[in-house]
Structure 1
Amino acid sequence: MAPAAQFELAQPPNDAVSALVFAPESSSRLLVSSWDKNVYLYDTQTAAAEGEAQQGSLIQTFEHRAPVLDVCFGANDDEAFSAGMDWQVIRLDLTSGEQTVLSKHSAPVRRVVYSRQNSLVISASWDSTLHVHNPNDTTQAPLEIPLPGKPHAMAASPSKLIVAMTSRLVHIYDLSALATGLASQTAPQPWQQRESSLKFLTRAVAAMPSDAGYATSSIEGRVAVEFFDASAESQARKYAFKCHRQSQPSPDGAPTDVVYPVNALAFHPTYGTFASGGGDATVALWDADAKRRMKVYQKFPDSVAALAFSADGRHLAIAVCPGFETGMEDYSGEGRTKILVRELGENEALPKGKAK
């Protein structure tokens, strides 16, 4: 039986999701990190049990000492790296379950990314440093790079690393320079230093698979699309726009915008389009080149915390859990955390006018 266009994954985490990512090769292997101190590995394409609405199966759980803030796959579908509140960057062998500490920061580790082109693991910590690791040589000390602010979001394109920090600071590093710096234990200077186009705290960064640029989002319902090329012609193409806002009547009856954070961004691996997810419990698809919104999906039960496209571009994973938009003091994601997997239609994420 063909899977539904969208289904809920069985056995979700017990607390809020911090990140999710599909495997580099398999379109059905999904990693999820959670505030419940675990990393979860799922097979999203296992058929639902008889009488059950949920699909997919939990392959394995990797328990950590503290909440896990980020996770990524490594060189293949059997290797992963996690980062979290225990200050550690950990290599996970998804076959044996073995966990190996790559390095320890002096504060929680907010993000971790893997560069396949350069075989590097890079972690960004609230101690205002990057650690650059060679995962194939655990005897080599990581390269430590000081940052001018606390990092909140990070992403890697084929050749660049984008780090978004407090005070609207954005540093872009050349990944090959980071590899050279690791070998010589010499911290390279950023390839570019920028000020964010967004006026408020950056919540997410996603890199274009084309290696042309990146998108950032903020807590104030905005997304900016930027380009690496520093020429005036290229920089004239950058833009920012409002999104994930809802019009509601004010006490005097006039409509007013309620603004939500844009928590998640993800680029389609081949089409150049991207998805955004927000505290307004919606996901939207955008055509980055045409500067237009293509689609808004139905409203979800809670805030959208994380998004990921599969490597073949056929699936979009959506993590839904309570946010802090309503100022909940007794927060709990237990029972309300859901992971939804949407099977995209053939032209669903394709820019208008480019239909197959």
Structure 2
Amino acid sequence: MFGGGTTTFGSPSAFGAPQPTVQPVQFGATNPAAAQQQPQVRDFEVTSPPDDSVSCLEFSPGTIPQIFLIAGSWDNQVRCWEVDRSTGKTVPKSMQSMTGPVLDVCWSDEGSKVFMASCDKAVKCWDLGSNSVMQVAQHDAPVKSCHWVKAPNYTALMTSSWDKTIRFWDTRTPNPILSFQVPERCYCVDVDYPMAVVGVAGRGLIIYRLDNTPVEVKRMESPLKYQHRCVSIFKDKQNQPTGFALGSVEGRVAIQYVNPIQPKDNFTFKCHRSNGTNQQGFQDIYAVNDIKFHPSHGTLATVGSDGRYCFWDKDARTKLKTLENPVDQPITCCAFNADGQIFAYAVSYDWSKGHEYYNPQKKPQILLHPCFDDLKPRDKR
């Protein structure tokens, strides 16, 4: 059970209790007749959202029967909700505080713990069963990312920081078991065993292999002309990580294979831009804030400062769907649940236009979209 004190976020309840298997249906469709009367799928808002901009979203792994969603935000909080897969309704479970804005969260592989990386230079482990927290990692500057690595011969927490280091931690000991110095501050990181990709300030990219002992295997410069903002690893048909998608502040995504068979396999495409030009003859270009690959289809989602999400088929090099009516704030981050039925996206200000465009009347939101069919690859026939 969630325990260890009171919480204002929600009532503690059983964590990990088995649930009956429920077939996925459209959110909001309480019965077939209602579904026919209201064919338009609507996105469901997560209850009790954060009070400040949302920096990260992560669904629980498929190793547990329920669906939980974790969000970290700039109000120094990490929140947990349980999601009902058949209705899209959410129940706040608990939350924990850091002493600085939260920049990243990740789950342990068995789904019993959450790691929280913060601007307070620390990473803490939240044990969901006991609702207790302990510090497990430390840097000399804000911690940008945290990822749990489960290898056949070791498990470790991988963290990156603006102190220009990558560190691996055995969470039972106070000092890192391995550390890499990188040339600049870490801006974006993704891990999909046995690959890790780290994007640093100044357009540098570093690729690591994590099997046996983690080792750096390649350095390269971003194919994008402007600063990258997000990175996401993709897999081949044998379920092996083979490359990554990189998003930049200039409304562009690069698809990069680590070892391309042909040079043309690597390409870039434009996204999160206005249709046409404004009265002054300029096109509005927005930052790509996050990229995630669908766990079943291998297609991808991008979200941007234009308040839209877009779904793409990289192999067919085509757009599958876009949010036609943008939300009234940027979309800062997104996540798919373990079986790819639910797409979560956070609506909150990303400060891309500066403080003069910040409107305190516009509150952050987290929305859930039933997405499985939307992400199916394009029929290549």
For the aligned pair, the TM-score class normalised by the smaller chain equals 0.7 to 0.9
The one of 141, 147, 162 equivalent to 1:113 is 147
The one of 126, 146, 150 equivalent to 2:162 is 126
CA apart distance, 1:172: 0.3
Cross-structure match for 1:319: 346
Q: Are the counterparts in 1 of residues 55 and 73 from structure 2 also a CA contact under 8 Å?
A: yes
Q: Are the counterparts in 2 of residues 46 and 57 from structure 1 also a CA contact under 8 Å?
A: no
CA apart distance, 1:28: 2.1
Cross-structure match for 2:80: 41
Q: Are the counterparts in 1 of residues 54 and 346 from structure 2 also a CA contact under 8 Å?
A: yes
Instruction: Compare 270-279 and 290-299 and name the one that shifted more.
Output: 290-299
CA apart distance, 1:273: 0.2
Paired with 1:42 and 1:122, the residues of 2 have a C-alpha distance of: 25
Cross-structure match for 2:3: none
Listed one character per residue, the Cα deviations across residues 110-147 of structure 1 (whole Å, up to 9, x for unaligned) are 11111234522111100000111123x33663322110
Structure 2: unaligned runs, 5 residues or longer: 1-24, 29-40
Paired with 1:234 and 1:38, the residues of 2 have a C-alpha distance of: 45
Q: Are the counterparts in 1 of residues 66 and 82 from structure 2 also a CA contact under 8 Å?
A: no
Q: One-letter code of the match for 1:130? A: I
Paired with 1:27 and 1:98, the residues of 2 have a C-alpha distance of: 21
Cross-structure match for 1:267: 293
Q: Are the counterparts in 2 of residues 103 and 142 from structure 1 also a CA contact under 8 Å?
A: no
Q: Cα RMSD (Å) of the superposition?
A: 2.2
Identity %: 28
Q: Are the counterparts in 2 of residues 130 and 146 from structure 1 also a CA contact under 8 Å?
A: yes
Structure 1 runs of 4+ aligned residues shifted over 6 Å read: none
The 1:333–1:64 alpha-carbon spacing in structure 2 relative to 1, beyond 3 Å, is farther
| TM value normalised by structure 2 | 0.82
Cross-structure match for 2:57: 20
Paired with 1:235 and 1:150, the residues of 2 have a C-alpha distance of: 29
Q: Secondary structure at the match of 1:350?
A: coil
Q: Are the counterparts in 1 of residues 137 and 174 from structure 2 also a CA contact under 8 Å?
A: no
Paired with 2:362 and 2:48, the residues of 1 have a C-alpha distance of: 10
Q: Are the counterparts in 1 of residues 187 and 201 from structure 2 also a CA contact under 8 Å?
A: yes
Cross-structure match for 2:245: 215
Q: One-letter code of the match for 1:63? A: S
CA apart distance, 1:92: 1.3
CA apart distance, 1:301: 2.2
Paired with 2:247 and 2:360, the residues of 1 have a C-alpha distance of: 23
Cross-structure match for 1:184: none
Paired with 2:263 and 2:95, the residues of 1 have a C-alpha distance of: 44
Cross-structure match for 1:303: 330
Q: One-letter code of the match for 2:274? A: Q
The one of 59, 62, 69 equivalent to 2:103 is 69
The one of 176, 183, 205 equivalent to 2:231 is 205
CA apart distance, 1:10: 0.5
Answer yes or no: is 1:9 the counterpart of 2:43: no
The one of 191, 198, 211 equivalent to 1:156 is 191
Q: Are the counterparts in 1 of residues 316 and 380 from structure 2 also a CA contact under 8 Å?
A: no
Give the length in aligned residue pairs. Answer: 335
CA apart distance, 1:47: 8.5
Cross-structure match for 2:271: 243
Paired with 1:42 and 1:89, the residues of 2 have a C-alpha distance of: 21
Cross-structure match for 1:185: none
Paired with 1:264 and 1:68, the residues of 2 have a C-alpha distance of: 16
The 1:141–1:152 alpha-carbon spacing in structure 2 relative to 1, beyond 3 Å, is closer
CA apart distance, 1:283: 0.3
Cross-structure match for 1:29: 68
CA apart distance, 1:76: 1.8
Cross-structure match for 1:51: none
Paired with 1:102 and 1:33, the residues of 2 have a C-alpha distance of: 17
Cross-structure match for 1:343: 370
Q: One-letter code of the match for 1:175? A: L
| TM value normalised by structure 1 | 0.88
Answer yes or no: is 1:292 the counterpart of 2:318: yes
Q: One-letter code of the match for 1:166? A: A
Q: One-letter code of the match for 1:3? A: F
Paired with 2:221 and 2:360, the residues of 1 have a C-alpha distance of: 34
Paired with 2:370 and 2:45, the residues of 1 have a C-alpha distance of: 12
Answer yes or no: is 1:79 the counterpart of 2:113: yes
Structure 1: unaligned runs, 5 residues or longer: 49-53, 182-187
Instruction: Compare 3-12 and 213-222 and name the one that shifted more.
Output: 3-12
Q: Secondary structure at the match of 2:306?
A: coil
Q: One-letter code of the match for 2:318? A: R
Listed one character per residue, the Cα deviations across residues 192-246 of structure 1 (whole Å, up to 9, x for unaligned) are 11111111111101111431211010001000011122x5x24430100111001
Answer yes or no: is 1:166 the counterpart of 2:201: yes
